[in-house]
Amino acid sequence: FRGRIGRNDLESFCLLFTTEDLQLNKERLQALAKTDDGFKLAELDLELRGSGEIFGTRQTGLTKLKIAKLTDTKLIKKAQNWAKKVVNTQKYLSNKQLQKLLAELQTEMHLE
């Protein structure tokens, strides 16, 4: 809703409803009412709903990651930096399986 509500000096309102009376829905709506920090809301939503699939279409539930949590941003940044080094090394790019995997990933998502 950022940039859509409260765009000028006039009083504005945002009414949010849910069709299901679930505790999870209440917690998510309460969080939205308490903060306008999009990053905090995203972290809370990740904590409440789960990450879903990284390379799929399911947007809720548990991830298949076995070692790390998606909230461990320091570890994710380290892994991202390492992956960039691997991808940029010619030795690894000559591996046919890696080339195929990278081609598939590039069609499904942005690798920035």
pLDDT digits (tens, 9 = 90+) for 16-45: 888 888 888 888 888 888 887 888 888 887
Average pLDDT score over residue span 89-104: 74
Give the pLDDT band (50/70/90) at residue 55. low
- pTM confidence score: 0.40
Instruction: Considering only residues 48 and 61, tell me which one the structure prediction assigns the higher pLDDT.
Output: 48
Q: What is the pLDDT of residue 35?
A: 83
Nearest residue to 51 (alpha-carbon basis) of 42, 43, 59: 59
Helix 38-49 to helix 23-34 angle (10° resolution) is 170
What are the residues whose beta carbons fall under 8 Å from the beta carbon of 105, sequence distance 6 or more?
Answer: 55, 111
Q: Output the CA angle 14-23-45, nearest 5 degrees.
A: 65
Alpha helices in 5-72 (DSSP H): 23-34, 38-49
Domain boundaries, the chain: 1-49, 67-112
